[in-house]
Amino acid sequence: MSRLRSSATVLLFAALLSACGRHETAAPAPLMDVVVKAVQPEDVPVAVTMVGRIVSDNSITFAARVTGQLIEAPFTGGGMVKAGDVLFRIDPAQYQAELDSALARQAQAEAKLAKAENDLARVDKLFKTGGMPQQEVDDASTAKLAATADVRSAQAAVTTARLTLGYTTITAPFAGRVGQAPVSVGALITPQSGALLTLDQIDPIDINFTVSEEGLLSLRTEIAAGRVVSAGVDHFVVTATLLDGSVYEHLGKISFADIRFQPETGSAQAQAKFPNPTGKLLPGQFARISVSGITRKDALLVPQGAVVQSPTGASVYVVGAGDIVESRTVKLGGWVDNRWRIIDGLKAGDRVVVGGVQKVRAGAKVHPVSGS
């Protein structure tokens, strides 16, 4: 019996040794799929974004030009008025009387002129027949000249009186929004009363902003190098975004750009004009404006998720020869929609990893899958 156990043990040991001597080849691990996109040059629009302040396209302050009692102020403070609407009416009685008096003096002067002309014609006729001395003709001519001067003086007085009477009614020269008047109907106002009312034109309306000297010089350099193409200021389109994030429904145009830079700030003033038919934009508000009309040529763009950012800089994973992954340091430009513009570190045709970035490692062999 012990002999049988010994033989079985030997056979089992031999079987184990035989198994250890065999070498089996393990199946290779499958390559990890990664989504890649070959970057290609694109022409992309460039939008320059700045903060601007909304100002009235035209703003005027009214003051009295004559003295009198205010008898009418038919407007609502803070409301809208149309061009030609009456804003203030000062009692015109005194100035109407002065105009009437001036018209009467003009009529008298014209009557005297008519008599002087008739007298001159009469004595001149008698002088030609020898019935009147030269002195009489000279006196008649002098009288006509004096009468003519009196008529002109009277006409000037009428013009002045008519203008003064016109000053008793103050009207809006354009449509807009009025402020609050510091005086009430019945008050005595004079030219020394100061500002009576402010009128702001709000359709169209302007947004003032500044352009940095550094930014403008950089743009001109890129245009000269052919990397950027500009449609020209006349073709720029301006979009306004209000502080609540809403985009204003009307587009604006550049209406003014100063040719001088302020040495204190290194910037120049510019202005965009917007239609404002409903009065949504009001003077004093701030808005973020975006100026478009510039195109960047041959830009290389990658999705936001393809960029790995760290304290040492930005990088992307590129699948190179033999489908081996390498980490490529890149220099980032601005945003284009939801993509980064790559200034340096990539070239056309590079296969950038755009899916599975968190799992991939430099030096690994992968199975690239084309992505959109």
What is the assigned CATH class of domain 93-166? mainly alpha
Q: What is the CATH code for 32-43+299-370?
A: 2.40.420.20
Q: Please state the CATH superfamily assignment of the domain spanning residues 47-56+203-297 in this structure.
A: Efflux pump adaptor protein, beta barrel domain (2.40.30.170)
Q: What is the pLDDT of residues 327-370, one digit of tens each?
A: 999 999 888 888 999 999 999 999 999 988 888 899 999 999 88
Q: Report the phi/psi class of residue 226: left, alpha or beta, with left for phi > 0 and alpha for psi in -120 to 50.
A: left
pLDDT beyond 80 at 133:
yes
Q: What is the pLDDT of residues 288-337, one digit of tens each?
A: 999 888 888 999 999 999 999 988 899 999 999 999 999 999 999 888 88
Section 56-81 average pLDDT: 93
Extents of the domains making up the chain: 32-43+299-370, 47-56+203-297, 65-91+168-193, 93-166
One of 3.20.20.150, 2.40.50.100, 3.40.470.10, 3.40.50.970 is the CATH number of 65-91+168-193, namely: 2.40.50.100
Comparing CA positions, the residue from 96, 144, 103 lying closest to residue 120 is 144
Extract the tokens encoding 97: 């009387």
Q: How many residues does the chain have?
A: 372
The position carrying tokens 């001036």 is: 102
The radius of gyration of the chain's CA atoms, rounded to the nearest angstrom, is 45
Q: What is the pLDDT of residues 209-260, one digit of tens each?
A: 988 877 778 878 888 888 888 877 788 899 999 989 999 999 999 888 876 7
In this prediction the pTM is 0.65
Comparing CA positions, the residue from 334, 312, 314 lying closest to residue 45 is 334
